[in-house]
Amino acid sequence: MESLKPKMMALIDELQKDFNDIYFDLEPEGPDFWHDEYVIAEGLCYDPDQDYFDHDEFRKDFKEFVLSWFDIDPENLNHSCYVDEFKTPELVILFHWDSQELEIYVPNTKQLRKFKNPHPGFKGSIEPLPEEVVKAAARLDGQITNLDNAIDALMYSHEDIEFYSVQKNGISSILGEMKDGDQIHFWNVIEYDDVLTKG
């Protein structure tokens, strides 16, 4: 597969020109972290200059545009309210709507992270974090691995909780979300830092 770096930069340039009358302030996030098989851009926000704007329709059109740019068939979608993930054996594309990031990588070559500050089990939420998840997060503490492996380890510990990455106030973490009847419980399960890789 050709390097993702020039293809992503060309996409950023194209989106900064115009997309359906929407202006993007998209730029590379930490270009030192990019390598030929991993890229991420921040600023996935838009400022529609119109009174009525259909956000769902826009996201659909935008996803189709990006997928076609990378020759990805829009199938095998994993969706949450925060992230849309398209995964093929050759490429993974993540639309982080909450943290406003576009992340693209070849499977098994993703940016490494070092994990820290696991949830103690009783902080923040009315509902305590299940003990098996607390133990899984504690095992991740201090480890260096990619985000997929960490989320898989947490998912294996509790099948009723959805785990996904978020960035808020400069802190990156894995969030746990569990539906309980009419209630939804959230936990900041563990934080992480990027591990610098150059290429």
Q: What is the pTM of this model?
A: 0.55
Domain end residue (candidates: 90, 105, 120): 105
Q: At what angle do helices 55-69 and 4-17 cross, to 10 degrees?
A: 140
Average pLDDT over residues 143-164: 87
The reply to whether 11 and 89 lie within a common domain is yes
Does 168 fall in a domain? yes
Give strand pairing partners of 77.
86
The residue with greater pLDDT, 105 or 197, is: 105
Angle at 126 between CA 130 and CA 138, to 5 degrees: 35
How would residue 199 be classed by pLDDT, with cut points 50, 70 and 90?
Answer: very low
Does 27 fall in a domain? yes
Token pair listed for 20:
């359906």
Average pLDDT over residues 108-124: 79
The residue type of 60 is: K
The reply to whether 8 and 74 lie within a common domain is yes
DSSP per residue, 151-171: HHHHHHH-TT-EEEEEEETTE
Contact 44, 34 (CB under 8 A): no
Radius of gyration from C-alpha coordinates of the chain = 18
pLDDT 10s digits, 76-94: 777 766 788 888 888 888 8
The reply to whether 183 and 98 lie within a common domain is no
The reply to whether 25 and 55 lie within a common domain is yes
What pLDDT does residue 198 have? 40
The reply to whether 181 and 149 lie within a common domain is yes
Does 54 fall in a domain? yes
The reply to whether 101 and 133 lie within a common domain is no
Specify the pairing of strand 183-194 against strand 171-180: antiparallel
The reply to whether 16 and 96 lie within a common domain is yes
Domain end residue (candidates: 56, 78, 105): 105
Domain encompassing residue 26: 4-105
What pLDDT does residue 52 have? 67
Domain end residue (candidates: 80, 105, 130): 105
The reply to whether 124 and 37 lie within a common domain is no
The reply to whether 71 and 130 lie within a common domain is no
What pLDDT does residue 94 have? 86
The reply to whether 12 and 97 lie within a common domain is yes
How would residue 125 be classed by pLDDT, with cut points 50, 70 and 90?
Answer: low
What is the number of domains present in the chain?
Answer: 2
pLDDT 10s digits, 46-68: 665 556 667 778 788 888 889 98
The reply to whether 101 and 124 lie within a common domain is no
Whether the per-residue pLDDT at 187 is higher than 80: the answer is yes
Does 199 fall in a domain? no
pLDDT 10s digits, 24-46: 667 776 655 677 777 888 777 66
H or E stretch including 14? Answer: helix 4-17
Lowest mean pLDDT among 46-50, 107-111, 124-128: 46-50
How would residue 141 be classed by pLDDT, with cut points 50, 70 and 90?
Answer: very high
Give the mean pLDDT of the chain. Answer: 81
The residue among 96, 198, 181, 74 whose CA lies nearest residue 147 is: 96
